[in-house]
């Protein structure tokens, strides 16, 4: 079975996000970028499926700016077999919306015919949590979102999902789109030899136009602002003072 994993280039998890003063967005120039952490978990899971003999090829796909090559190389160094970069924007600040990404992925999938798509549940930049579900809808496939456990059982996948209040286990027909949550696995670090090897792995470049997909946004970004800050509170000296302050405020 071939596994396809979409990966997104996003601001590094540890970088402090700075909102531009003119309200036009978040400053991404000269900022460290990395693989979206949820996508890294998806890549890791695909590699584990391959190691367990349940997958035979892993194709990683990124849609965005040409710099996403680095993102794909990271996934190749972890253990993916080949990569497809779909150039869809020139400016690093352009965020291709999940609907357009899902449409391009659906076209890639028509050509690649994978048995499973493993995707991160959301990207840590736009926090939309939508691409996997949208892709599944466009393909008419089943979906298993927010997976914390995944098992392939013949022509079905058993997915344990992290839901409000606990866990839900479902069985989905393959091919399926499964989106992964934090606790599914801990992604490996790429070793130096594997990073060197990854440079020689195939990376195809395409454009959104090659797939005939219109990527113009459906949501016009009016402005981006800093979140409201809370007024500073007070430091109390003791538990008793805390209790009396809480009583004064009517909180207990």
Partner 1 sequence: MAVLLLAEVNNGELALDATAKAVTAARAMGDVTVLAAGASAAAAGEAAAKIDGVAKVLVAEDASLGHRMAEPTAALIVSLAGDYSHIVAPATTDAKNVMPRVAALLDVMVISDASGVVDADTFERPIYAGNAVQTVKSLDTTKVITFRTSTFDAAGEGGSAAVETVSAAADPGLSSWVEDKVAASDRPELTSAGVVVSGGRGVGSEEDFALIEKLADKLGAAVGASRAAVDSGYAPNDWQVGQTGKVVAPELYVAVGISGAIQHLAGMKDSKIIVAINKDEEAPIFQVADFGLVADLFEAVPALTDAL
Q: Decide: 190 and 87 in contact? Cβ < 8 Å.
A: no
Find the binding residues for partner 1 in span 185-244 (CB under 8 A). 217-227, 230, 232-236, 238-240, 242-243
The DSSP output letter for 72 is: H
CA nearest 181: which of 201, 166, 161, 199? 161
Nearer to partner 1, 60 or 105 (CB): 105
Q: Decide: 3 and 59 in contact? Cβ < 8 Å.
A: yes
Interface segment toward partner 1; rule CB under 8 A; list 57-65, 70-78, 154-162, 205-213: 154-162
CA distance 33 to 11: 4
Least distance between partner 1 and beta carbon 85 (Å): 23
Nearer to partner 1, 71 or 160 (CB): 160
The binder of partner 1 chosen from 32, 113, 140, 212 (CB under 8 A): 140
The binder of partner 1 chosen from 51, 52, 155, 171 (CB under 8 A): 171
- Give residue 39's region: left, alpha or beta (phi > 0; psi -120 to 50): alpha
Least distance between partner 1 and beta carbon 133 (Å): 4
Q: Is 52 in the site for partner 1 (CB under 8 A)?
A: no
What is the phi/psi pair of residue 175, to 5°? -70, 150
Least distance between partner 1 and beta carbon 180 (Å): 12
CA 190, chain centre distance (Å): 19
Q: What is the DSSP string of 115-180?
A: SEEEEES--TTT----HHHHHHHHHT-EEEEEEEEEEEETTEEEEEEEETTEEEEEEEESSEEEEE
The binder of partner 1 chosen from 31, 170, 195, 203 (CB under 8 A): 170
In total, the chain counts a number of residues equal to 252
Nearer to partner 1, 37 or 201 (CB): 37
The binder of partner 1 chosen from 99, 105, 178, 190 (CB under 8 A): 99
Give the total of residues touching partner 1 (CB under 8 A).
Answer: 76
Least distance between partner 1 and beta carbon 55 (Å): 20
Find the binding residues for partner 1 in span 119-138 (CB under 8 A). 124-138
Binding mask 5-34 for partner 1 (x = CB under 8 A): ------x----xx-x------x--------
């Amino acid at each position: 079975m071939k596994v396809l994993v979409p990966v997104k280039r996003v601001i590094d998890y540890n970088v402090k996000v700075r909102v531009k003063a003119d309200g036009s967005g978040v400053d991404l120039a000269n900022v460290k970028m990395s693989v979206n952490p949820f996508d890294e978990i998806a890549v890791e899971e695909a590699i584990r499926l391959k190691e367990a003999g349940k997958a035979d090829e892993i194709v990683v796909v990124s849609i965005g700016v040409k710099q996403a090559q680095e993102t794909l190389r990271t996934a190749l160094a972890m253990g993916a077999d080949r990569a497809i970069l779909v150039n869809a924007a020139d400016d690093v600040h352009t965020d291709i919306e999940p609907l357009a990404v899902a449409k391009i992925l659906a076209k890639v999938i028509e050509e690649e015919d994978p048995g499973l798509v493993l995707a991160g549940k959301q990207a840590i930049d736009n926090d939309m949590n939508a691409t996997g579900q949208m892709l599944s809808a466009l393909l008419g496939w089943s979906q298993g979102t927010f997976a914390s456990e995944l098992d392939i059982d013949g022509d079905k996948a058993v997915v344990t999902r992290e839901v409000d209040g606990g866990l839900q286990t479902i069985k989905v027909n393959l091919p399926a789109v499964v989106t992964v949550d934090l606790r599914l696995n801990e992604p490996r670090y790429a070793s130096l030899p594997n990073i060197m090897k990854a440079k020689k792995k195939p990376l195809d470049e395409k454009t959104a136009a090659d797939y005939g997909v219109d990527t113009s946004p459906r949501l016009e970004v009016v402005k981006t602002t800093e979140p409201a800050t809370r007024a500073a509170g007070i430091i109390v000296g003791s538990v008793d003072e805390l209790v009396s302050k809480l009583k004064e405020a009517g909180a207990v």
